Amino acid sequence: MSDQAIIDAYSDRPWEAPGRHEPVVRLRGIVKRFGGIEAVSGVDLDIYRGEIFCLLGGSGCGKTTLLRMLAGLELPDAGSIEIDGQDVTALPPYERPVNMMFQSYALFPHMSVAANVAFGLKRDGIRGAELESRVAQALAQLELIDFANRRPHQLSGGQRQRVALARAIVKRPKLLLLDEPLGALDKRLRENAQYQLMKLADDTGITMIVVTHDQEEAMVLSTRSAVMDKGQVRQIGTPSELYERPGSRFVAAFLGNITLFDGSVAAIRDGIAELSVDGLDAPLFAAAGSVLAGSRGALAVRPEKVRIGREGEAPESQVNRLGGIVEGLAYLGDITSYRVRTDHGALVEVTRANSENAAKRDLDWDDRVEVWFSPENALLLGAD
Amino acid sequence: MSRRRGKVALLGLVVAGFAFLYLPLVVLVLFSFNASKLVSVWGGWSTKWYLELFRNEQILNAAWLSLKIATINATGATLLGTMAGLVLARFGRFGGRALFTGLIAAPLVMPDVIIGISLLLTFVSMEQFIGWPYGRGIDTILIAHITFSTAYVAVVVQSRASGLDRSIEEAALDLGARPITAFLLVTLPMLAPALASGWLLAFTLSLDDLVIASFVSGPGSSTLPMVIFSKVRLGVTPEINALATLLIGIVALAAGTATWIQIRRSGRA
């Protein structure tokens, strides 16, 4: 394959070949303190053209502060921000090629929908026919034509969200920042809005950075996400990397449910580690990851990768098997979730797809069961 | 049964309360239409005291002066009070904030007599040292009124400004507006209801004021309340009742408008 072919092959996923592409956003060593407390401490990020990049974390993890620094609403105490090759670290918000959609939407209450959308264009001196056509285009893109003359207080929550989005994209920014863009919508609206946002990213090609606390939202929307905690980026990856190969207990526990067994690594053979689990006689086996033999570690396994059956139902070939009692059971329609207390006292979460009619329960509360999982589907994490 | 009795009792209390507040005003308004020259004796309906009133040069001049002062005062106080209110609402914790807040609010609780006498002393000594303000008249009344009205406007603007979503102004900056543009196109329109009610409040306060104006006015610059008060000392004439009725009308209109603006706006925001 020629070099050009490789570039082409990767062109819609530039982050997979970082050496060949210039990032649109380059953050280096960003630090921000509020009254002596570090809200953001030393963040480096490269974000590429066309990405929907999620900053994911709990409240107070620094994700919104980071977004506000990109918008120019806060100035970093250290570090540099480059957007499209231009150092914007010290530029005020009105001189940055960046637009932001605020969590509260921040619509101008005394202006009509059309005037809200036109506001940014007018600041660039755009008038007359061009102004009208660009406003109309943005309104059409978000299905707002019928509401052009309404005031924000006359709109529903979903319509306001779309006005905020239209206002933020109409200037065709190099970077669109979204602060919890779907946070105020109810569940049904949110799903539609998610797809609308992805379609918008596709149609316009605008690079987006989305702040969210909702891991599901990050999974659906993002090309890649950065999981943040205490002002630092804990891991950057695609949704499946973060879910299937979390690098730490924090990331593993933040994205979805997971069962952890603490122990010490007895041996590593062919990339499979043998873990002596505290309080358990037989060892458990898992993909080794970067953990070294002799160190402490934790075996992590997702609930849907654990199988469950009556005692003795586990195939003989399974090395990771544990006996226990069903302590909790939740029927969720598409899946059933079990909590199994193992004989050595650990709690294991198991989910099972109800691929057949589950009206007749074959496993019930207090039943003796066996749970098992293959080593390839479990992961060994460091002790952090 | 007892429930119904409770309701009647409650209604009675409400009526008694409102009577306590408004009966004197009703009596005054009624007597302004009294044909008799004796204030406390009813002599049939008449509007002749209103006609008398409009022929009285002294009262008309005083009324004109008061309106002029009230208008200029309201405008000046709104300008200064808005700045003070914005600083209080927006600048977070700056050095001396508590002191600044206290100093802004002091005129709200300071007795009028003290404000009046202190201003008088200041004006007199300023005249001695720098020759300004020369004598006392409309200038000194204006300065005095703006001094205390500003405090009221500041409080009104502060409460509105601290209730505004900061991110609306940030959105304006983000969309390319320089800070001054953002202020004029976004912040100011959102503050408009507070500015309007602050202006009307300052207007009413100035129109009402007797004590402070008495201290700082000079010959030939008697405001309406001063003229009324001096007339009352010689005995209440039905003319004064007519004048008072008109004043009640103006003040009620101003207060009503201010309330209406606030309600209409807050319903939207």
Same structural domain for residues A65 and A113? Answer: yes
Chain A nearest CA to B179, separation (Å): 9
Q: What per-residue string of b and e applies to B97-135 under the rule 16 or more CB within 10 Å gives b?
A: eeeeeeebbebeeeebeebbeebbebbeeeeeeeeebee
Closest residue in A to B169 (Cα) is A106
CA–CA separation, A369 and A327 (whole Å): 11
**Chain A: residue nearest B168 by CA?**
A106
A245 and A292 in a single domain? The answer is no
Vertex A216: Cα angle to A372 and A59 (nearest 5): 110
CA–CA separation, B255 and A240 (whole Å): 63
Smallest Cβ–Cβ distance between B176 and the set A71, A107, A123 belongs to A123
* Position A221 in a domain: yes
Interface predicted TM-score (ipTM) of this complex, two decimals: 0.86
Q: What is the mean pLDDT of residues A195-215?
A: 93
Residue A231 included in any domain: yes
Domain annotation covers residue A10: no
To test the contact with chain A by mutation, choose from B174, B181, B184, B264 the residue with the greatest count of A C-beta atoms within 10 A, namely B174
**pLDDT tens-digit map of A98-152:** 999 999 999 999 999 999 999 999 999 999 999 999 999 999 999 999 999 999 9
Residue the block writes with tokens 């006392």: B136
Whichever domain contains A353, its CATH number is 2.40.50.100
Three-state DSSP class for residue B196 = helix
Residues 6+ apart with CB under 8 A from B209: B112, B145, B223, B225
Closest CA to A63 of A291, A201, A254, A311: A254
B185: closest CA of chain A, how far (Å): 10
Closest Cβ opposite residue B173 in set A93, A124, A167:
A93
Distance from CA of A233 to the nearest CA of B (A): 26
Question: How close does chain A come to B269, measured CA to CA in Å?
Answer: 7
A240 and A366 in a single domain? The answer is no
Cα dihedral: A218, A222, A228, A232 (round 10): -170
Q: Which residues neighbour A354 within 8 Å (Cβ) at sequence distance 6 or greater?
A: A331, A333, A334, A335, A336
Residue in B165, B175, B268 closest to A123 by CB: B175
A104 to chain B: closest CA residue: B167
Nearest residue to A192 via CA among A154, A156, A244: A156
Residues A186 and A267 grouped into a single domain:
no
Q: For chain B, which residues lie within 8 Å of any Cβ of chain A, measuring from their own Cβ?
A: 165, 167-168, 170-178, 181, 185-186, 189-190, 192, 268-269
Averaged pLDDT, groups of 10, chain B, 269 residues long:
83 94 90 82 86 88 93 96 90 79 86 93 92 85 94 93 93 96 95 91 91 90 90 80 87 82 64
Domain that holds residue A324: 257-382
Given a cut of 50, whether residue A1 has pLDDT beyond it is: no
Average confidence score pLDDT of chain A: 91
Nearest to A106 among B165, B178, B189 (CB): B165
Question: Distance between CA atoms of B63 and B57, rounded to whole angstroms?
Answer: 10
Q: How many CA atoms lie within 13 A of B169 on its CB side?
A: 19
Order of strands across the sheet that contains A368-373: A307-310, A368-373, A320-331, A335-342, A347-353
**Neighbour tally for A323: CB within 10 Å:** 15
Q: Taking CA atoms, what residue in A is nearest to B268? A: A153
Interface of A with B (CB under 8 A): 71-73, 92-94, 98-100, 102-104, 106-110, 119-120, 123-124, 151, 153, 167, 171
pTM over 0.90: no
Contact B175 A167 (CB under 8 A): yes
CA torsion angle A62 A67 A68 A74 (round to 10) = 70
Q: Are residues A122 and A174 in the same domain?
A: yes
**Cβ separation A171–B175 shorter than 8 A:** yes
Q: Please give, rounded to a whole number of angstroms, the shortest distance from the CA of B242 to a CA of chain A.
A: 42
Same domain, A140 and A38: yes
Last residue of a domain, one of A249, A266, A282: A249
Q: Which residue has the tokens 């003040």?
A: B251
Do A218 and A120 lie in one domain? The reply is yes
How, if at all, do strands A368-373 and A379-382 pair? Answer: unpaired
Half-sphere exposure of A380 (CA within 13 A, CB side): 29
Asked if A241 and A262 sit in the same domain, the reply is: no
* Segment A211-216 mean pLDDT: 93
**Chain B residues close to A124, C-beta within 8 Å:** 176
pLDDT (tens digit per residue) in A15-70: 777 777 889 999 999 999 998 899 999 999 999 999 999 999 999 999 999 999 99
| A201 lies in some domain | yes
Q: Are residues A199 and A122 in the same domain?
A: yes
On whether the CB atoms of residues A261 and A233 are closer than 8 A, the answer is: no
- B181: nearest CA in chain A? A123
HEC assignment per residue over chain A: CCHHHHHHHHCCCHHHCHHHCCCCEEEEEEEEEECCEEEEEEEEEEECCCCEEEEECCCCCCHHHHHHHHHCCCCCCEEEEEECCEECCCCCHHHCCEEEECCCCCCCCCCCHHHHHHHHHHHCCCCHHHHHHHHHHHHHHCCCHHHCCCCHHHCCHHHHHHHHHHHHHCCCCCEEEEECCCCCCCHHHHHHHHHHHHHHHHHHCCEEEEEECCHHHHHHHCCEEEEEECCEEEEEECHHHHHHCCCCHHHHHHCCCCEEEEEEEEEEECCEEEEEECCCCCCEEEECCCCCCCCEEEEEECHHHCEEEECCCCCCCCCEEEEEEEEEEEECCCEEEEEEEECCCCEEEEEEECCCCCCCCCCCCCCEEEEEECHHHCEEEECC
Which of A249, A272, A306 terminates a domain? The answer is A249
Alpha carbon distances (Å) from A201 to A45, A49, A210, B250: 20, 11, 12, 59
Residues in chain B with CB shorter than 8 Å from the CB of A94 are 173-178
Do both A48 and A100 map to the same domain? yes
Cα distances from A302 to residues A100, A260, B134, in angstroms, run 36, 9, 87
CA atoms within 13 A on the CB side of B69: 31
Of A227, A249, A271, the residue at which a domain comes to its end is A249
Q: Do B176 and A98 touch (CB under 8 A)?
A: no
Give the separation between CA B225 and CA A361, rounded to whole angstroms: 88
- Per the CB < 8 A criterion, the answer to whether A249 and A260 are in contact is yes
CATH number, domain of A121, equals: 3.40.50.300
CA pair distance B267, B259, nearest whole angstrom = 12
A218 and A81 within one domain: yes
Q: Considering all CA atoms of chain A, what is the largest pairwise distance in Å, rounded to the nearest integer?
A: 79
Q: Are A348 and A305 in contact (CB under 8 A)?
A: no
Amino acid found at A336: T
For Cα atoms A40, A41, A45, give the angle at the middle one, nearest 5 degrees. Answer: 80
b or e along A120-158 (b: 16 or more beta carbons within 10 Å of the residue's beta carbon)?
bbbbeebeeeebeebbeebbebbebeebbeebbeebeeb
Provide the β-strand partners of residue A289: none
Chain A residue numbers touching B180 (CB-CB < 8 A): none
Q: What CATH architecture applies to the domain B56-268?
A: Orthogonal Bundle (1.10)
pLDDT at residue number B269: 46
- Do A221 and A268 belong to one domain? no
Handedness of CA A165, A171, A174, A175 (dihedral sign): negative
Confidence of residue A7 (pLDDT cuts 50, 70, 90): low
Domain count, chain A: 2
User: Quick check: A6 pLDDT over 80?
Assistant: no
Task: Indicate whether A195 belongs to any domain.
Answer: yes
Which of chain B's residues have a Cβ under 8 Å away from the Cβ of A167? Answer: 171, 175
Query: Which chain A residues contact residue B186 at CB under 8 A?
Result: 108
Chain segment A298-340, per-residue pLDDT in tens: 999 999 999 999 988 888 888 999 999 999 999 898 899 999 9
| Cβ contact B176–A71 (<8 Å) | no
Cβ–Cβ < 8 Å for A48, A14? yes
Q: Helix (H, G, I), strand (E, B), or coil: what is residue B45?
A: strand
Q: How far apart are CA A39 and CA A101, in angstroms?
A: 21
Q: Is A345 left (phi over 0), alpha (psi -120 to 50) or beta?
A: left
Chain A neighbors of B177, CB-CB under 8 A: 94, 119, 123
pLDDT greater than 50 at residue A251:
yes
Shortest CA gap B192–chain A (Å): 10
Chain A / chain B CB contacts < 8 angstroms: 65
Give the span between the Cα atoms of B269 and B260, in whole angstroms.
15
